[in-house]
């Protein structure tokens, strides 16, 4: 589908994009090529082809949600810049008076 520079100006106006005349002239054939490519893909998709999200069939790929021992506090805090009473020590971000 060939787009004219006037079509590009109208689309740019809808998108609230300011284009120069050079940009408009350059974009017209590029946008036309994109529309032609979409038209080709649309011809391939027929009613007998089910929509898919992946090229290969997938089942639930997540691990089961089962309780297991957590990380010991010493290991969790090993990389912390500061720790106190088995907790991460972080800078205060609120004032004492804040309510």
Rounded to whole angstroms, the Cα distance separating 39 from 1 reads 9
Place of tokens 């809808």: 14
Q: Evaluate whether residue 19 is within a structural domain.
A: yes
Q: Evaluate whether residue 12 is within a structural domain.
A: yes
Q: What is the pLDDT of residue 49?
A: 75
Q: How many folded domains does the chain comprise?
A: 1
Q: Evaluate whether residue 9 is within a structural domain.
A: yes
Q: What is the pLDDT of residue 97?
A: 66
CATH assignment of the domain containing 33: 1.10.20
Q: What is the pLDDT of residue 46?
A: 73
Longest pairwise C-alpha distance within the chain: 70
Q: Evaluate whether residue 26 is within a structural domain.
A: yes
Q: Evaluate whether residue 38 is within a structural domain.
A: yes
Q: Cβ of 98: how many Cβ atoms within 10 Å? A: 6
Q: Evaluate whether residue 20 is within a structural domain.
A: yes
Q: Tens-of-pLDDT digits for all 99 residues of the chain?
A: 788 999 999 999 999 999 999 999 999 999 999 999 988 887 776 777 777 788 887 777 788 889 999 999 999 999 899 999 999 999 888 876 655
Spell out a b/e string for 74-89, using b for 16 or more CB atoms within 10 Å of the CB, else e. eeebeeeeeeeeeeee
Q: What is the pLDDT of residue 99?
A: 55
Residues of the domain holding 28? 5-44
């Amino acid at each position: 589908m060939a787009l004219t520079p006037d079509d590009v100006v109208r689309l740019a106006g809808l998108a609230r994009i300011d284009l120069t005349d050079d940009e408009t002239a350059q974009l017209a054939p590029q946008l036309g090529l994109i529309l032609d490519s979409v038209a080709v893909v649309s011809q391939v998709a027929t009613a007998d082809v089910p929509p898919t999200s992946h090229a290969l069939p997938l089942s639930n790929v997540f691990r089961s949600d089962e309780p297991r021992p957590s990380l010991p506090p010493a290991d969790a805090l090993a990389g912390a810049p500061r720790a106190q009473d088995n907790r991460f020590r972080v800078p205060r971000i609120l004032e004492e008076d804040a309510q």
